[in-house]
Structure 1
Amino acid sequence: MESTDRYRENAQRLSKAYRDRPATPLETAVWWTEYIARGNGNPYLRSEGADLAWYQYHLIDVALVLIIESAALIYIFFRLIKLLLSLLSAVKGTAGSQTEEKSKWKKKD
């Protein structure tokens, strides 16, 4: 019994200390929110995004880099396909001319 009385007294004392404040918790939260919003000349409370250029803020520089890289990759891809197709047609043309030459030799004999 004695330990529960001691816990109860301790809880009541802490509760009284917690409730003994000049403003309610809501008023305190509102005051601190307004204090932070005002900034009060404290540069560490200011967002770094406020100092960005408009094109950085809207990520236009990042979008341009991605667009240029994509266009370069697409260009390289199509040039590579064109090169492979030309090589393939050259190989087919060479193979076709060899078969024509063989057939010419056979006709002469």
Structure 2
Amino acid sequence: MNSVFHNGFQMVDGKEVSVYETFNLENSSIFLYHVLTPDGTVVKTYREYGKEEWEVIWKSNKSECDVYGTCGEFGILNSGNSPICSCLRGYEPKYVEEWSRGH
């Protein structure tokens, strides 16, 4: 990813070590907090100085369909179906009981 500025953000490629993000805020009374959840969702929250509540202002994953591997190998995900996962034609769940529970 190229280093570009967007609303004060800059991505920095540390080459062999890491990639990290820096940012500058013009309004120092706002705190930003980014979290990478175990399912791979990036959640951006903010809080105004003097307030206790953090507000979610952006999430990278909008639904289960955005999470990689939700339906497992050879699974098809269709959010319009219930359940949302099904097998490719010619395949069957390896663990039928677990599949039936939706895990």
- Please classify the TM superposition score into its range, dividing by the shorter chain length: under 0.3
Relative contact order, higher structure (CA 8 A, sep 6+)? 2
Give the structure with the higher percent helix.
1
Q: TM-score, normalised by structure 1?
A: 0.18
